[in-house]
Amino acid sequence: MSELLKKVNVSIEEIPGLGSFIVVPKGLEQVITDTTSISGVDPRGENTLYRGYTIEDLGMNADFYEAAYLISYGTLPTEEEYKEYRKKVDYWRTRVPEKVYDALKLLPQTHPMYYGAYGALLLGQIYAPEWRLDKDYLYEHQIRLIAQLPVIFAAAYNLAYHGTFLRPEGELSHAHDLLRMITMRDHSELEVRAFESSLILYMDHGFNASTFAVRVVGSTLSDMYSAVAAGIAALKGPLHGGANEEAMKMFLEVKKKASEKGVPMEEYIVEYIKEKLARKERVMGFGHRVYKLKDPRTDVAAEFVRKLKDGETWYKVIKAAEKVMWEAKRIPANIDLYTAILYYQLHIPVPMYTPVFAMGRVVGWTSHYIEQSLDNKLIRPTEKYVGPVGLKYQPMTARR
Ligand code: CMC
């Protein structure tokens, strides 16, 4: 047993006078902190599941409502359940309180992830100033968040950057309506399906950083809206959801420089990545805490990338990037490398890439909030203090 603990970098430490503590690796790497029946990430990349179904199966075959229902309630919906659920999501999407739109009109041009966190907290103040923890109430608020958070992102972004926005249309599917509101243009059936599939791929993914943040906040018995705001804050970072935006910035730079040099992008990206690695910089859209061989979500996203505008060209660029990263570092691509190109093909503005991730992940966040709340234990690790001891307060005049 102690050999195993040593191998995974876990130890038991006795601190005189304080007792025994379990010391786990930095970043909680390889640490299981709780059970969940919502999703499981398979390190081999072969069997990553949402409630028992592989993520590839759902990404290819389910629609937004089916996948969201499955993640929320644990089973795929029957026809009747589907109709009821779809009606509710579409109803709430078109019922964002007018006060929220009014508030969004005041926001400055900034990163749209701020708009989502702000909007989630506004919804909480309006819908749930007194939070309750009964099951029906939780599921009711989950639907409101799934339906309305994306509208807030799209409206706030377009208001701040274009001075206008599109209101939701309840008769369109959720995915179609979101894509229309974000881009303010029409899309083909294939484009809508590609977008919908990406939302499904992003819906949940075990105890990733933002979901863990949501569960930590939920474990304090704070409300679901506050917990989702914390999830958005965590997702914003470039090591997590922010990576799809950063990956696109890389592709755009490669596109520009390759054109200036008159060489194909798939040729130039190799040189570009090698230089980045030589400078010890990270290449966004590569690497994952759990997947060390393959991120299965990339296969589904690749299918759509290839079918959309300039798909085969972009696919070649992605493959060239994957090859050089694998040869140099043995690091595989993650979903964000593929969705970066996919969203570019769908005319989604680059700063909206991470908000789109949140539009899918809000399903997982709220499901984890409910799972945590219904079997709660405050998440509160302990620390090992290594700072100075025994100092005594001195008045300012005596300090140097
Ligand atoms: N580019 C270059 N080097 C990398 C990368 C990368 N993308 N990812 C990991 N490494 C290197 C890292 O420099 C380190 O090398 P060394 O041991 O020589 O110092 C080694 O690999 C281990 O890295 P780590 O950060 O300790 O490993 P981790 O398990 O904590 O990393 C990660 C996970 C996602 C933070 C990291 O792979 C990364 O920074 N990737 C880029 C950001 C990114 O694409 N994030 C999206 C993740 S998937 C979608 C999501 O869930 O958000």
- 44, part of any domain: no
Going by C-alpha positions, the residue among 233, 232, 281, 234 that lies closest to residue 253 is 281
Cα(335) to centroid of ligand 1, in Å? 13
- 387, part of any domain: no
Tokens of 12: 């038991």
141 labelled catalytic = no
Q: Tell me: the pLDDT tens digits for 18-56?
A: 899 999 999 999 999 999 999 999 999 999 999 999 999
Checking if the pLDDT of 190 tops 80, the result is: yes
Whether residues 222 and 332 fall in one domain? no
What's the CATH number where 75 sits?
1.10.580.10
Estimate the crossing angle of helix 135-162 against helix 353-374, to 10 degrees. 160
Whether residues 201 and 326 fall in one domain? no
Q: Tell me: the pLDDT tens digits for 217-235?
A: 999 999 999 999 999 999 9
- 132, part of any domain: yes
Whether residues 251 and 198 fall in one domain? no
Checking if the pLDDT of 165 tops 90, the result is: yes
For the residues 237-246, what does the mean pLDDT come to? Answer: 96
Checking if the pLDDT of 3 tops 80, the result is: no
Nearest CA to ligand 1 atom 46: 240
With a Cβ cut-off of 6 Å, ligand 1 is lined by 27, 205, 208, 239-241, 243, 282-289, 329, 331, 334-336
Q: Tell me: the pLDDT tens digits for 279-300?
A: 999 999 999 999 999 999 999 9
Whether residues 217 and 256 fall in one domain? no
What's the CATH number where 316 sits?
1.10.230.10
Which of the listed residues 303, 327, 345 is the one where a domain comes to its end? 345
Domain count within the chain: 2
- 37, part of any domain: no
Checking if the pLDDT of 398 tops 80, the result is: yes
Whether residues 235 and 367 fall in one domain? yes
**What would the 3-class secondary structure string for the chain be?**
CHHHHHHCCCEEEEECCCEEEEECCHHHCCCCCCCCCCEECCCCCCCCEECCEEHHHHHHHCCHHHHHHHHHHCCCCCHHHHHHHHHHHHHHHCCCCHHHHHHHCCCCCCCHHHHHHHHHHHHHHHHCCCCCCCHHHHHHHHHHHHHHHHHHHHHHHHHHHHCCCCCCCCCCCHHHHHHHHHHCCCCCHHHHHHHHHHHHHHCCCCCCHHHHHHHHHHHCCCCHHHHHHHHHHHHCCCCCCCHHHHHHHHHHHHHHHHHHHCCCHHHHHHHHHHHHHHCCCCCCCECCCCCCCCCCHHHHHHHHHHHCCCHHHHHHHHHHHHHHHHHHHCCCECHHHHHHHHHHHCCCCHHHHHHHHHHHHHHHHHHHHHHHHHCCCCCCCCCCCCCCCCCCCCCHHHCC
Whether residues 208 and 261 fall in one domain? no
For the residues 384-392, what does the mean pLDDT come to? Answer: 95
Q: Which of 198, 211, 291, 329 to mutate to test the pocket of ligand 1 (most atoms within 8 A of CB)?
A: 329
- 265, part of any domain: yes
State the Cα–Cα distance between residues 241 and 250, nearest whole angstrom. Answer: 15
Whether residues 200 and 268 fall in one domain? no
Whether residues 214 and 73 fall in one domain? yes
Which of the listed residues 345, 361, 385 is the one where a domain comes to its end? 345
Cα(326) to centroid of ligand 1, in Å? 13
336 labelled catalytic = yes
Query: In the prediction, which pLDDT does 2 show?
Result: 67
Whether residues 82 and 226 fall in one domain? yes
Whether residues 140 and 159 fall in one domain? yes
Cα(41) to centroid of ligand 1, in Å? 17
- 319, part of any domain: yes
Whether residues 150 and 69 fall in one domain? yes
Mean pLDDT (the chain) is 96
Contact indicator for 33, 55 with CB cutoff of 8 Å = no
Checking if the pLDDT of 1 tops 70, the result is: no
6 contact partners, CB below 8 Å, separation of at least 6: none
For the residues 109-114, what does the mean pLDDT come to? Answer: 98
Please give the residue range of the domain that contains residue 255.
243-345
- 8, part of any domain: no
Contact indicator for 219, 378 with CB cutoff of 8 Å = yes
Whether residues 339 and 285 fall in one domain? yes
State the Cα–Cα distance between residues 246 and 252, nearest whole angstrom. Answer: 10
Phi then psi for residue 166, to 5 deg, are: -105, 140
For the residues 71-79, what does the mean pLDDT come to? Answer: 98
- 36, part of any domain: no
Could you tell me whether strands 19-23 and 11-15 are parallel, antiparallel, or unpaired per DSSP bridges?
A: antiparallel
Query: In the prediction, which pLDDT does 69 show?
Result: 98
State the Cα–Cα distance between residues 279 and 269, nearest whole angstrom. Answer: 15
Query: In the prediction, which pLDDT does 6 show?
Result: 72
Query: In the prediction, which pLDDT does 7 show?
Result: 74
Query: In the prediction, which pLDDT does 9 show?
Result: 82
Q: Tell me: the pLDDT tens digits for 242-274?
A: 999 999 999 999 999 999 999 999 999 999 999
For the residues 109-138, what does the mean pLDDT come to? Answer: 96
